[in-house]
Chains A and B, each alone.
Chain A
Amino acid sequence: MFKWKKLGRIFNPLDITDRPWLKEFAQAPSVLIFEDFIRVYFSCRPHRDENGQYISYSAYVDLNRNNLFEIVDISKQPIMKLGGPGTFDEFGTYPTSVIRSEHGVMAFYGGWTRCESVPFNVGIGMAISHDNGISFSKSGNGPVLSYTPDEPFILSGPKIRRFNSLWYLWYIAGRRWIWNDGKPEPVYKIRMACSNDMVNWIRAGRDLIANKLEVNECQASPDVFFYENRYHMFFCYRYSLNYRGKEKGYRIGYAFSDDLQNWTRDDSKAGIDISDKGWDSEMLAYPHVFGLDGCLYMLYLGNEVGRYGFGLAILKKYKSL
């Protein structure tokens, strides 16, 4: 089991005053490690538009590798543009996951469009950077992972990984929209696909993580890493309805696997929970685990799913199961 020690909040978007596109939220952190710093990608939003609607961009903050609480740089502009009219990513790029490849730094991201009967749909896009992850150009105007008969909408939350010479993509797929007080709310589950070339993906075609709360439990941010001879997945989950407060909001879950295909959920081993007070006292969401200089760290979101930024925890103790 894991035991994490919270180190505190790393980044609060409300502290940034000179970027009109970075006003609210810092969501879904994802790390790229450099020699002197670590680059933490996240998604953020300008203020709501005149119709009260958000768009979201992806950006990064660079942290001193020797002192992760020291911000050494923040992206001057979003790392990629929103899509053109009618495209899947016209209204948002969130979340973004990055990895180095022989071609450059690759990004997989959720692209957001707006619908009439439901508020949005999401597809997974791919982009490449040739300047060490400062800016990304899209591999096409459409998504790299789109809908299938049993993954009908909301393909989002991609996490790109490489194990055993294969590319793996963990992501979420929408299952159904349910009406709640005249407003549709989506239900989504954790899924995976693998690929030789990052373009053609073979999907597992099944939910990987058993439900704990309810049939309509929403699961997100499937973050997989290999550690001590085993694959581990941290993710977050919540109730399908009335999830904007403490009681039914996001918590961090945990599962392990020996073959990357079959996952055993055991949230009791996650070793991290909400704080008594402060910025992460109501929810914990969007975990991302990374190794750095002999330590294992977790980045995660707190209350209101990252409205007040993200924080850092360090692994204190690990005991294999």
Chain B
Amino acid sequence: MKWEKIGKIFDPTEHKLANRCHEFAQSPQVLVFDNFVRIYFSTREKDKTGKFLSHISFIDMDKEFRKIVNVSSKTVIELGKLGCYDEHGIFPLNVLRDDNRILGYIGGWSRRVSVSVETSIGLAISQDNGLTFKRIGDGPVLSSTLNEPFLVGDPFVAIYNNKYYMWYIYGISWIYCKATLSRERIYKIGYAVSDDGINWNKANRQIISDKLNREECQALPSVIYHKDVYHMFFCYRQATDFRKNRERSYRIGYAYSEDIHNWIRDDENVGIDVSPNDWDSDMMCYPHIFKCNDNIYLLYNGNEFGRYGFGLALLEE
């Protein structure tokens, strides 16, 4: 693959966002309309304890990605209720069309005491072209199980041959990091299949092999079917010292599959990497791949996990 970087297309600090959010536009997710492209993202407010809450917002862009034509000014989806899996944030909201409705898969975050966070995946549905979403219930559709004990998150759902496929991540351990005196999480990419988008059967296995080491963290899978092959973009990093250390932080990885079940990791052919001295020079993360006007694009976040927005690349070959 070969990508042409178009550059950063959205900086949240240059716009007024709902829910008192002013920084971060993470994990962009696309819904293509006839005349525009809607890009959902997770942005943050600080609560009264000084901790972040992640809210969903969106912008609409023209289909050549030259101009922002609309910035959502209202709440797209409320955070979860007290004690629920998505009480403290939604990251990401993965959206797709399913007949005349739009499904929104919620990466829900809630805070813990011995570790920082727990996550699960929920479902919300929009009947108004994606302006607002309403949950099907207070709890998740995909959560921890015997061998995926925590941190089930980062949903990406696609429908092929009337079956729903979800790629997601699950935690395998929280390791103690001496440098930060805190626990850091390790997670891997898995997948599940469903007939209705609600009841899921997990494959219960890691589908992307490790490249760095056993503690490699893999996140945010995004899949597209193109020229008879399934292509997956994701991001990966070292388990510790990844926030400030450029050498250990997120990069984009790539894998392909011919049968949708078995994947071959092939980062050599990802065709995109960090730039020198730019908004995406320290890290690249949270890729989202999609088609628009017969082009294939990649949205992604750069330095500081998307604190100052996201950028776009166009597939050249």
Residues of A within 8 A of B (CB): 83-88, 90-91, 113-118, 121, 123, 126, 139-144, 146-153, 174, 176-177, 179, 184, 186, 199
Q: Is B254 in contact with chain A by the CB < 8 A criterion?
A: no
B120 at the interface (CB under 8 A from A): yes
> Interface 1/0s, chain B 102-138, versus A by CB < 8 A?
0000000011111100101011000000000001111
| Residue B82 is within 8 A (CB to CB) of chain A in the complex | yes
Q: A86-B174, A147-B120, A152-B138 are in contact. Are A117 and B146 (CB under 8 A)?
A: no
Q: List 8 A-B contacts (CB under 8 A).
A: A85-B174, A91-B114, A115-B113, A116-B111, A141-B149, A146-B143, A152-B85, A176-B83
Which residue of chain A lies nearest to B170 when distances are taken between CB atoms in the complex? A142
Closest 6 CB pairs of A and B: A149-B137, A140-B146, A152-B139, A142-B149, A116-B111, A141-B149
- B173 contacts A by Cβ under 8 Å: yes
In contact, A84 and B173 (Cβ under 8 angstroms): yes
Q: Is B141 an interface residue (CB 8 A)?
A: yes
B interface with A by C-beta (< 8 Å): 81-85, 87-88, 110-115, 118, 120, 122-123, 135-141, 143-151, 171, 173-174, 176, 183, 185, 198
Task: Verify A148–B141 contact, CB threshold 8 A.
Answer: yes
**A88 to B146 Cα, complex, angstroms:** 10
Q: Is the CB of B137 within 8 A of A86?
A: no
Q: Are A84 and B174 within 8 A (Cβ)?
A: yes
The listed residue (B138, B139, B150, B185) touching A87 by CB distance below 8 A is: B150
Chain A residue, CB-CB nearest to B123: A149
Can you name the residue of chain B whose Cβ is closest to the Cβ of A155? B139
Q: Is the CB of B85 within 8 A of A86?
A: no
Query: Chain A residues near B112 (CB, 8 Å)?
Result: 86, 113-116
Let me know if A177 and B174 touch, CB within 8 A. Answer: no
The total of Cβ contacts below 8 Å across the A-B interface reads 128
Residue among B122, B141, B150, B174 with the highest chain A CB neighbour number at 10 A: B150
In the complex, chain B residues whose CB is within 8 Å of the CB of A174:
83
Q: A85-B183, A86-B185, A141-B147 are in contact. Are A149 and B115 (CB under 8 A)?
A: no
B146 closest partner in A (C-beta) = A140
Per the bound structure, the CA–CA distance linking A177 and B176 in Å amounts to 32
Evaluate contact between A114 and B113: CB separation under 8 angstroms. yes
CB distance from A88 to the nearest CB of B (A): 6
Our pick among B82, B118, B143 for the contact of A118 (Cβ within 8 Å) is B82
A153:B150 contact, CB within 8 angstroms: no
A256 to B239, CA, bound (A): 53
Q: Which of B83, B141, B147, B148 sits near A117, CB closer than 8 Å? A: B83
Residues of B within 8 A of A150 (CB): 137-139
In the assembled complex, how far is the CB of residue B164 from the closest CB belonging to chain A, in whole angstroms? 15
Inter-subunit contact B83/A153 (CB<8 Å): yes
User: In the assembly, what is the distance between CA of A121 and CA of B171, in Å?
Assistant: 18
Q: Which of A83, A121, A139 has most B Cβ within 10 Å?
A: A121
Which residue of A is nearest B142, CB measured?
A: A146
**Cβ of B84 and Cβ of A152 under 8 Å apart?**
yes
Do residues A118 and B83 form an inter-chain contact, with CB atoms below 8 A? yes
Assuming A85-B114, A149-B140, A152-B139, is B83 touching A126 (CB within 8 A)?
A: no
Residues of B within 8 A of A118 (CB): 82-83
| B residues less than 8 Å from A151 (CB atoms) | 139
- Decide if B137 touches A88 in the complex (CB within 8 Å): no
For A89, give the chain B residue with the smallest CB separation. Answer: B149
Distance (whole angstroms) from the CB of B196 to the closest CB of chain A: 12
Asked if A143 contacts B139 (CB within 8 A), the reply is: no
Distance from B43 Cβ to chain A, minimum over Cβ atoms (Å): 21
B140: A residues at CB distance < 8 A: 147-149, 152
Q: Is the CB of A142 within 8 A of B82?
A: no
Query: Which residues of A lie under 8 Å from residue B176 when comparing CB positions?
Result: 85
Please measure, in the bound complex, the distance between the C-alpha atom of A149 and the C-alpha atom of B150, giving whole angstroms. 17
Are A85 and B148 neighbours in the complex by a CB distance under 8 Å? Answer: no
**Given A148-B141, A152-B137: A142 in contact with B83 (beta carbons within 8 A):** no
Judging by beta carbons under 8 Å apart, are A139 and B146 in contact? yes
- Give complex CA distance A123, B139 in Å: 13
Flag if A126 contacts B185 (CB, 8 Å): no
- Which residues of chain A have C-beta atoms less than 8 A from B174's C-beta? 84-86
